[in-house]
Amino acid sequence: MTLKKNDHLEFYRQMVLIRRVEERSAELYQQGKIGGFLHLYIGQEAVSTGLISVRRPEDRVITAYRDHGVAINVGIPAKQVLAELLGKETGISKGRGGSMHMADVSKNYWGGHAIVGAHLPIAAGMALGDQYQGNKGVTICMFGDGATNIGFFHEGVNLSKVWNLPVLWVCENNQYGMGTAVERASAVGEIHKKAEGYGIPHSRLDDGMDIMKVREASAAALEQVRSGKGPYFLEIVTYRFQGHSMGDPQRYRQKEEVTQWEKTDPIGIYNRYLVEQEIATKADLEKVEEAVEAEVKEAVEFAETSPDPALDTLFDYMYTDKEQNHG
Amino acid sequence: MAEINMRQAISDALWEEMERDEKVFIMGEEVGVWGGTYAVTKGFYDHFGAKRVKDTPIAEAAIVGAGIGAALVGLRPVAELMTINFAFVAMDHIVNEAPKLHTMFGGQMKVPLVIRTAGGGGRQLGATHSQTPDAIFAHFPGLKVVSPGTPADAKGLLKAAIRDDDPVLYIEHAAMYQVKGEVPTGDFTVPIGVSKVQREGSDVTIVSYCRGLQLSMLAAEQLAVEGISAEVVDLRSLRPLDMGPVIESFKKTNRAVVVEEGWPSYGVGAEVSTRLYEEAFDYADAPIKRVGQKEVPLPYNRELEQSALPQVADVIAAVKEVL
């Protein structure tokens, strides 16, 4: 697919939107307005944005608990993401899920799963459902490097090959499972090679900070699955940013940081690419950034002013048959 | 009505549901080519084919997890765990995924999954293969847990479970497949979460389910010979738990014994007796007794094993204590 200027601006918008939402989330967390855990996607924006940009609507998406970025990429409005983080009834999961459990089934996005690796067998089952019903879609299952050391990973990946299921396994290798580096937790340093043990074709993208490369690798991997050859395993190397100046909303305008930012930040890398390739001007991109600023400001206001779930809805959604919700 | 055994009743329910609805399929260890380790799905593979009768690897998390996934996208899987003892290696998916997804995403997802499994002791399989851990699973809101004690309920509950939009753990007893009973002909379901009086009586209420029901019915027969009239209430579902008929019976008899095959500690008897005390304390004329398995991992030796499992004589003795 040849990308038009507007496509690029849309990807850029999504990446900046993820960054802004995450930065605001960190602040709201510091203010005690967000409870529980908060896993930020800052630094990994190119992975999800690039990957989701090549999926088709019939392709299902399921991921782990670092799910805010994916939520935005599949098209959940920032205000529903932030409202969920604040536990509001207007949140995408009606305040029942929180940071780790965001889904929008209408967008074929199935969450947001917080037990490491447990969603891999579920993803295999979703692909089985599509295979069984003759649907065309691919199930895109994202997970971290840490998930590849747990039994669920091996059971799910094995099953996908045994049944030749249309699954794209995407390992987002951000190089740490919590605080434990890959080489301290995984017997195999190059994670994609684990797929070898299950006879599944695999590859690794070393530069997951460049959205154009992520798109290229993801599109090729998806095509392989779509062609009916069964599952494919794609490892994308990326990294989480620490809470340093990269998170500073002012950095776009601070010259001394720009050089560093253009080299290591997925948004900076993309920004430089778009300008150097004369796809967009600095002014175009600043316009996008300003629009995102406004959207996030509005989204935070929406979230903060939204109602909490009514206490008498505590038992709603336990069972599909509400009559049984007190059993 | 026709007299058939438990195996046939379960098999018929599966067969009829698969004939009725293309979305229903079976997956599990040896369910296909082998015909099921307890021969429940014998003949299914030849009739329905490999697509709808799926043999799986020995990987219980994959069996239940994939069942959840398939259920999410519109199918009605019956995921079989060869025994409930293997459910522990799929614990996360049974208690922490399937029952959570509907509520956790604000009602967006449904998990119409049946997890079929068999539990119970008495077959000299040793400590790891003989357990009755039903209460553990019934602990979790969001999961439905049923465990039939008669062929009619086995058939009706399984059909109801398959048609239910929530995850249901369906627990059979591995030593009860030959138990016979009258089963209505034609299509019928037994509602989940509804207890039933299986035998009427006036002197004492015996509350039980599954294998415990069998013991309780035999005990009631023998007690009748001695002039003691026992009412037997069958829970059938452990969650949602229908205490209505239990309380009603207790208000009439004022005495109760709860019979289960599992360990009494933190068990079904503990739950039922507590609810009776909470909701009908004033009606109690004697402390409620629990009958269950001795609090020890089950041994292999036949005599030792039988000495640990609850027997009809234990139920009779408990009844006499509360009278």
Please say if the pLDDT value at position B24 is more than 70.
yes
Question: Is B146 part of any domain?
Answer: yes
Please say if the pLDDT value at position A22 is more than 70.
yes
The Cα–Cα gap between B114 and A161 comes to 24
Q: Which segments within B120-215 are labelled E, that is strand?
A: 144-146, 168-173, 180-183, 196-199, 204-208
Q: Which residue among B69, B96, B105 sits closest to A103, beta carbon to beta carbon?
A: B105
Regarding whether B231 and B143 lie in a shared domain, the answer is no
Chain B residues within 8 A of A166 when measuring between CB atoms:
none
Residues 6 or more apart in contact with residue B222 via CB below 8 angstroms = B312, B316
> Given this model, what pLDDT does residue A243 score?
37
Model confidence pLDDT, tens digit, residues A25-38:
999 999 999 999 99
Question: Is B189 part of any domain?
Answer: no
Q: Does A33 touch chain B (CB under 8 A)?
A: no
Chain B residues within 8 A of A152 when measuring between CB atoms:
61, 65, 92
Q: Is the separation of the CB atoms in B236 and B190 below 8 Å?
A: yes
Which residue reads 């048609």 in tokens?
B163
Q: Shortest CA distance to A302 belongs to which of A13, A42, A79?
A: A79
Q: Does B104 touch chain A (CB under 8 A)?
A: yes
Chain A residues within 8 A of B76 when measuring between CB atoms:
none
Model confidence pLDDT, tens digit, residues A4-13:
999 999 999 9
Told to judge if B3 belongs to the known catalytic residues of this protein, a careful annotator would answer no
> Given this model, what pLDDT does residue A258 score?
54
- The conformation of residue A105, written as its DSSP 8-state character, comes to G
The Cα–Cα gap between B259 and B11 comes to 27
| B62 with A317: Cβ contact below 8 A | no
Q: Is the separation of the CB atoms in B52 and B18 below 8 Å?
A: yes
Question: Is B188 part of any domain?
Answer: no
Cα separation values, A262 from A43, A152, A211, A265, A290, Å: 13, 38, 13, 6, 19
Model confidence pLDDT, tens digit, residues B62-121:
999 999 999 999 999 999 999 999 999 999 999 999 999 999 999 999 999 999 999 999
Q: Does B92 touch chain A (CB under 8 A)?
A: yes
Q: Which residue among A97, A133, A156 sits closest to B62, beta carbon to beta carbon?
A: A156
The Cα–Cα gap between B170 and B158 comes to 7
Regarding whether B266 and B155 lie in a shared domain, the answer is no
Q: Which residues of B153-182 are buried (b: 16+ CB within 10 A; e: fewer)?
A: bbbbbbbbbbbbebbbbbbbbbbbbebebe
| Count of domains for chain B | 2
The Cα–Cα gap between A221 and A202 comes to 8
Please say if the pLDDT value at position A157 is more than 60.
yes
Q: Which segments within A151-271 are labelled E, that is strand?
A: 167-173, 176-177, 180-181, 202-205, 232-237
Model confidence pLDDT, tens digit, residues B136-157:
999 999 999 999 999 999 999 9
Told to judge if B93 belongs to the known catalytic residues of this protein, a careful annotator would answer no
Model confidence pLDDT, tens digit, residues B223-235:
999 999 999 999 9
How many Å separate Cα B111 from the centre of its chain?
20
User: Which of these three, B135, B158, B183, is where a domain ends?
Assistant: B183
> Given this model, what pLDDT does residue A172 score?
96
CA B238 to chain A, closest CA, distance in angstroms equals 10
Q: Lowest-confidence range among A235-244, B121-130, B189-198?
A: A235-244
Residues 6 or more apart in contact with residue B130 via CB below 8 angstroms = B85, B120, B121, B122, B123, B298, B305
Chain B 51-70, residues with CB within 8 Å of chain A CB atoms: 51, 54, 56-57, 59, 61-62, 64-70
Task: Parse chain A into domains and list their residue ranges.
Answer: 5-306
> Given this model, what pLDDT does residue A253 score?
43
Backbone angles phi, psi at A146, to 5 degrees: -60, -30
ipTM given for this complex: 0.96
Two tokens at B15? 């067969």
Q: Which residues pair with B230 in a beta bridge?
A: B204
Chain A residues within 8 A of B241 when measuring between CB atoms:
327
Q: What is the CATH number of domain A5-306?
A: 3.40.50.970
Please say if the pLDDT value at position A112 is more than 60.
yes
**How many CB atoms neighbour CB B7 within 10 A?**
20
Peptide bond into B240 cis (omega under 30): yes
Question: Is B101 part of any domain?
Answer: yes
**How many CB atoms neighbour CB A80 within 10 A?**
23
Q: pLDDT band for position A264 (50/70/90)?
A: confident
Please say if the pLDDT value at position A290 is more than 60.
yes
> Given this model, what pLDDT does residue B206 score?
98
> Given this model, what pLDDT does residue B242 score?
98
Two tokens at B78? 């019956």
Chain A residues within 8 A of B144 when measuring between CB atoms:
319, 324
> Considering chain A, what percentage of its residues have pLDDT values greater than 90?
85
> Given this model, what pLDDT does residue B59 score?
98
Regarding whether B136 and B111 lie in a shared domain, the answer is yes
Please say if the pLDDT value at position A257 is more than 60.
no
| B107 with A94: Cβ contact below 8 A | yes
Q: Which domain holds residue B301?
A: 196-322
Please say if the pLDDT value at position A250 is more than 50.
no
Regarding whether B142 and B31 lie in a shared domain, the answer is yes
User: Which of these three, B138, B153, B183, is where a domain ends?
Assistant: B183
Chain A 180-199, residues with CB within 8 Å of chain B CB atoms: none
Q: What SS3 class is residue B240?
A: coil
Regarding whether B234 and B170 lie in a shared domain, the answer is no
> Given this model, what pLDDT does residue A269 score?
95
Question: Is B190 part of any domain?
Answer: no
Regarding whether B72 and B40 lie in a shared domain, the answer is yes
Q: Does A290 touch chain B (CB under 8 A)?
A: no
The upper half-sphere exposure of residue B260, i.e. CA atoms within 13 Å in the direction of its Cβ, equals 26
Q: Shortest CA distance to B135 belongs to which of B95, B81, B176, B167?
A: B95
Two tokens at B238? 């452990």
In B, minimum Cα distance to A98 occurs at B104
> Given this model, what pLDDT does residue A181 score?
85
| B144 with A130: Cβ contact below 8 A | no
Chain A 158-177, residues with CB within 8 Å of chain B CB atoms: 158-159, 162-163
Q: pLDDT band for position A323 (50/70/90)?
A: confident
Regarding whether B160 and B214 lie in a shared domain, the answer is no
Regarding whether B105 and B234 lie in a shared domain, the answer is no
Regarding whether B161 and B14 lie in a shared domain, the answer is yes
The upper half-sphere exposure of residue B193, i.e. CA atoms within 13 Å in the direction of its Cβ, equals 15
Percent helix, strand, coil in chain B (nearest 5)?
Answer: 40, 20, 40
User: Which of these three, B161, B183, B205, is where a domain ends?
Assistant: B183
Please say if the pLDDT value at position B210 is more than 90.
yes
Regarding whether B249 and B104 lie in a shared domain, the answer is no
Regarding whether B219 and B171 lie in a shared domain, the answer is no
Q: pLDDT band for position A259 (50/70/90)?
A: low
CA A106 to chain B, closest CA, distance in angstroms equals 9
Model confidence pLDDT, tens digit, residues B38-73:
999 999 999 999 999 999 999 999 999 999 999 999
Regarding whether B236 and B163 lie in a shared domain, the answer is no
Write down the catalytic residue from B17, B29, B60, B172.
B60
Q: Is B50 exposed, middle or buried (0-12, 13-18, 19+ CB in 10 A)?
A: exposed
CATH of residue B242: 3.40.50.920
Q: Is the separation of the CB atoms in B192 and B157 below 8 Å?
A: yes
